[in-house]
């Protein structure tokens, strides 16, 4: 059931406005979008195409880890690049 009891979000920018809509659920994906079981480092080849495909399928956001460091005890390097540069 749709919740129309809350006031709309303040208009901030096109990205925010398309992701957050009052009374609506939006879904996003966490990058990397591929599995990388044989390496601690994800292969970023094709990420742009995957993100564009996710957008075409209706996903509203792409989330990146905000710690661009390799911590061996964690098990993977996750996001190797600075998140803001990578999103650019």
| Contacts with 34 (C-beta within 8 Å, 6 or more apart), sequence order | 42, 43, 46, 50
* 61 has pLDDT over 80: yes
Contact in structure between 45 and 32 (CB atoms under 8 Å): no
pLDDT at position 68 is 64
- Would you kindly state where each structural domain of the chain is located, as residue ranges? 14-87
Rg (CA), the chain: 16
For 11-53, the pLDDT digits (tens) are 777 777 778 777 788 888 887 767 777 877 777 788 889 889 9
Report d(CA 59, CA 43) in Å as an integer: 22
DSSP, residue by residue, 67-78: -----GGGS---
């Amino acid at each position: 059931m749709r919740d129309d009891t809350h006031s709309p979000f303040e208009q901030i920018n096109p990205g925010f406005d398309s992701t957050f809509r009052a009374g609506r659920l939006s879904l996003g994906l966490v990058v990397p979008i591929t599995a990388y079981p044989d390496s601690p480092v994800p292969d970023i080849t094709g990420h742009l195409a995957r993100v564009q495909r996710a957008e075409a399928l209706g996903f509203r956001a792409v989330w990146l880890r905000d710690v661009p460091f390799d911590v061996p005890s964690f098990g993977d390097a996750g996001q190797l690049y600075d998140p803001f540069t990578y999103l650019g």
